Amino acid sequence: MKSGTELLRGLLIGLLLVLPFSVQAAGFSLEDTQGNSHRLEDYRGKWVLVNFWATWCPPCLSEIPELSSLHDTHKGKDLVVIGIAIESGSSRKVEDFSRAHGISYPVVMGNGRITAQIGEFDVLPTSFLYSPNGEQVSYQAGEVTRESVESYIKNKKY
């Protein structure tokens, strides 16, 4: 027969195993190539799509017009897109590229500190979607479209 302490320990471990894992973000703090700060908590009440990409990545380039359209349509209302450029080059190269390709959303130079704040990924592009209350609710390895993000958001109640 188990002692009261053993029984309590077993119940606590069991409780931890069945409770849903919350992906509530501890938050992130990013600085874009223009020197503007972007913190997850600053966007409470809005959806936040964080997209890891690179200038040399064909699927990333295909996704840029979709993300710009998504950002432009929802900017100032209910959603913001933040791009994280995974580059070995200078921020100047990324800024020039962003202008040339009509990227309308903020772009941040990626590094290990930023990846640690947001999440690991194996492929580019990869997107993380945060709900208006700051919870990471979706992760997409590969391209996303404006339509897929809008459809996902429409079907969620926050």
120-143, pLDDT tens digit by residue?
Answer: 999 999 999 999 999 999 999 999
The whole-angstrom distance between residue 143's C-alpha and the CA centroid of its chain comes to 13
Q: Specify the range with the lowest mean pLDDT, choosing from 1-10, 65-74, 145-154.
A: 1-10
Domains along the chain with CATH numbers: 25-154 (3.40.30.10)
The whole-angstrom distance between residue 35's C-alpha and the CA centroid of its chain comes to 19
3-state secondary structure (DSSP) of residue 63? helix
DSSP state, residue 40: G
Q: Residue 136 pairs with which residues in a beta bridge? A: 130
CB 119 within 8 A of CB 136: yes
Q: Specify the range with the lowest mean pLDDT, choosing from 2-11, 35-44, 102-111, 148-157.
A: 2-11
**Preceding omega of 125 cis (within 30 degrees of 0):** yes
55-103, pLDDT tens digit by residue?
Answer: 999 999 999 999 999 999 999 999 999 999 999 888 999 999 999 999 9
Q: How confident is the model at residue 118 (pLDDT cuts 50, 70, 90)?
A: very high
Tokens representing 118 are: 């947001």
